[in-house]
Amino acid sequence: MIPTLLIHDHIIVAKLSYGLKVPFFDRWLLRWTDPTPGDVMVFKFPEKPEVYYIKRLIGVPGDEIRVSNGRISVDGREWAIEPLTELEQRGIKVSSDDETDKFSYFKERNGQNSDYRIRFFSEQKEQSDETVYKLGPKQYFFMGDNRDQSSDGRVWGVVDEKLLVGKAWMIWLSCEETLSSAPFVCDPTRIRWDRFFKRVQ
């Protein structure tokens, strides 16, 4: 999900953002709103439900999605992208050793008129890999913001409604590295203080 989320970002997930599930089951007890294209969501990986994934929602039930070289059209309407300005791109710091010249960053505007940043390899290979996905009832389609390096719906298909967990809400901890002795604990000398309490958008 680079550049929206970085490696070793720790996030809070709003599990009640769309409704209430029966405890310990994947059934909805009550729904008060539907996921919106552009939302960053956590869901159970369809091929291995004990593993949690986080991606950006692209399509909802009934949508027809066309993806060509990472570019998106939903129901015949192309989602516009525009390059970030030099100043905007300068503000993106993925890691201390990131090779920024390998990537180009863009602002994508979806059908809900919200925008966010995505990235591609700077050197694009000419290819015609357009794929069409027609979503059935209770099916959702997700993609990563790191378009050329993301294992997402283009690889493993759609996500059933029962696998949705909630909306990514806020980063509460972020670091460049974890401790070698405890890989699940942030190295206190490599904290990214500027990412604390940043909303996920």
Buried b (16+ CB within 10 A) or exposed e, 46-60: eeeeeeebbbbbbbb
Is residue 35 included in any domain, yes or no?
A: yes
In a domain, 3, yes or no: no
C-alpha dist (Å) from residue 139 to 60, 116, 158, 186: 6, 23, 6, 36
pLDDT digits (tens, 9 = 90+) for 167-189: 999 999 999 999 989 888 999 99
Q: Is residue 5's pLDDT more than 70?
A: yes
Cα Rg of the chain (Å, integer): 17
66-77: per-residue pLDDT in tens?
A: 998 888 999 999
Q: Does residue 2 fall inside a structural domain?
A: no
Report the C-alpha gap between 153 and 176 in whole angstroms: 28
Could you tell me if residue 166 is inside a domain? yes
For position 136, which CATH number holds? 2.10.109.10
Is residue 18 a part of any domain in this protein? yes
Asked if residue 67 is part of any domain, the answer here is yes
Q: Indicate the pTM of the whole model.
A: 0.90
The pLDDT value recorded for residue 97 is 53
Does residue 53 fall inside a structural domain?
Answer: yes
Q: What is the DSSP letter of 191?
A: B
Distance CA 78, CA 173 (A): 35
The pair of structure tokens assigned to 25 is 């089951």
Domain of 190 in residue numbering reads as 9-199
CB 158 within 8 A of CB 61: no
Tell me the pLDDT tens digit for each residue of 24-48. Answer: 788 888 889 999 999 999 999 999 9
Q: How many domains does the chain have?
A: 1
Q: What is the pLDDT of residue 93?
A: 67
